[in-house]
Structure 1
Amino acid sequence: MKKYLLVMTLLGTSAMATPRKVYPLQAETIAGGAYDYSLNFLYSKTLSFYDVDGNETELEELQDYTLMDTDLKLKYGYSRKLELIAGAKFRQVSSGRDDGSGSGVTDTTSGIENVNIGFKYAWKKNKNYRYAISGSYVYRPYEENVIYTNSSQIPEGEIVLGDSGQEFNIGFHLDYIYSKWTTIEASAGYRSAPNDLAPEVPYHLALVKNYNTWALWGGVKGIYSLGGDPYTDNPSDKPLNATGTTARWNSINRSYMQPYGGVRFLIKKKYRLSFEAAQTMSGTSTDKVGEFSANLAWTSGGKSKDEIFEESFKEYTTEATIIKVSPRGKFVKIDKGLAQDVAKGAKVDIYKTDYFGGNILIASGLVYESGPSWAIIKLVKKFRSVPIEKGLTARVK
């Protein structure tokens, strides 16, 4: 009965300590053997243009450009630290213009914009910090965009899906766990951009607030150009694509910065439903856009970190409290003994616990000597630089 109560208490404590199930840390991977499915819809509308010098130009009458992306993504937990990723994107584009007679005309196109594969590897945890590296290869299945020397050569109604060609990405991710409910996340990387564009550094920085069934976040994201476009000094000489009423594609040293914010809800303890909005505030050789996205994701299979954590507690038979520590910290005395089946040679884990669900494993040892209502534990391994002191929790296997 005592063992049952101990397990139930610990499982309840663990359940309280999982607010990040709603918004998992970006620098961690899914559990080994698990699958994560994601469906994302993006609506993006051009509000104005930024030229190569960063000057903003308003849309003319009858000009309009909207883009809608539908992304499918599958992640597989290959191991505890490595996940493999595959995805595909379907795009619809609508570009409005003046047909030359004062009437508006809309050109449209749609199709598979890309298929992609990638990975993410999580490094060893370091106190409140989490680190990961990711990489991806993006392949665009449509033909390369046709190059024109002047706009009169572009056939009426022709419009591209985006920048054609392959793309390589590598990214570095960092999470700082400020508190149980608050995380600061950041990432930066390198992108070998398609369509012979200059290489880029995508980045983002955000503050995330987690709760048991919902989360919200806000931050800034964007692209920094590493420069080197051959037409930097003579942008008017750059060959044209049938881009339509947008400066997003076939750009010159493209860059932009977007503040953004979002909210996520955990539905039926499994499905993660997210909404996010962003708007470009500055840029070069691109559009000023307003964007809205909706995302539905869920994970199945594998054993989560919480489940592994909970299962580990089922091995314990007794929970005790440290009541005395030897001068050198090699031995401790606990308030349970033979009467509670704490026998000589039993394995013991030392935890630092709190009222907020924290359970930090800091040391392990063996029962060196046991009395009717006490036992002496010899510490054999220490996992964290936390002082061994009275009041810590000892769990006996």
Structure 2
Amino acid sequence: MLHSFKRLMSTKVPRQFKSVVYSSHNLEDCTSVLSIQNYTPKEDLAKSIVLRSLAFPINPSDINQLQGVYPSKPEKTLNYSTKEPAAIAGNEGVFEVISVPEGESSLTEGDWVIPVQANQGTWSNYRVFTKASDLIKVNGLDLHSAATVSVNGCTAYQLVNNYVDWNHNANEWLVQNAGTSGVSKVVTQIAKAKGIKTLSVIRDREGFEDVARNLENKYGATKVISETENGDKQFGKEQLPQILGPDAKVRLALNSVGGKSSSAIARKLGKDALMLTYGGMSKQPVTLPTSLHIFKGLTSKGFWITENYKRNPEEKPANVADFIKLYKEGKIVSPKDDISSVEWDVNSATDEQLLDLIKSSINAKGKKQLVVLKW
């Protein structure tokens, strides 16, 4: 909520900005290309929208950009007083508006905003935008939701809503693997709110029942099964029909794993269904049985949220607005329990300390890392 941070309504626009930048790429050690740059912004700040950063996550796509293997890359420039053309790292984050130019009525000081497009550079204490249309207000979300809605939230929203014309009065399902992932948890919540049932597949593990119960009770999954059950043909013939119920239609599969897991969730689809692949955590190819294409009319497509919004930028504000509505209605919970927050003390941290903080967050295992700025 907005009151979570002290508003700086009288904050003076700073003369210098501090950003985490890179000029080159390194596949083996992406942290080696990072540096901290202090610079005077080129823009006329009196005629610009000035933002201060509140928090930014470190996503796999950010790391892939530093490695040089991500298909979408920001343009490198000399705007940050570097010797070589450089870009600011990061694609996602939430900001607070601290200054708007005279005549700008769509934004006010204190608004929380996110960029419409990726590649804007979010690992920074301040950022400048010249057009309000390049920003989306996210007032009403908590910090963790606002900082991650652009990737996980919007990906989940489109996966559920953009590809299948659901019959909400029927017994219709979607099946997904990687059921404990951030996107999958939002998928189950949005699906439940829309009256769609979800079958989530997760890895076999110690304490499976507790994890499954949490996904069902907290995140709204209709049923959680293991990868062993997912690949078991006998389970598919005997137990699965009992889980799905009478006249069930499994119309959509969401794949972010690949390999055998993707083949197994595809087999659960009904006639003329769709599988969307948006990740490949197993690093194994997606292999689909020929019979699914010939006899069931399966369609398999790729999904990339960055490209979707590049093609149709007007969709993002509408998607975010619907997400915020669901959040305010209590149908989507904050991802705070799945996030590990680290603090950047803007006023006291040295450049070396900031760089160490970023590097350790990139190398951290387990929960998603969120850098929260202490002002």
TM-score (normalised: structure 1):
0.23
Greater helix percent: which structure?
A: 2
Larger Rg: 1
Greater strand percent: which structure?
A: 1
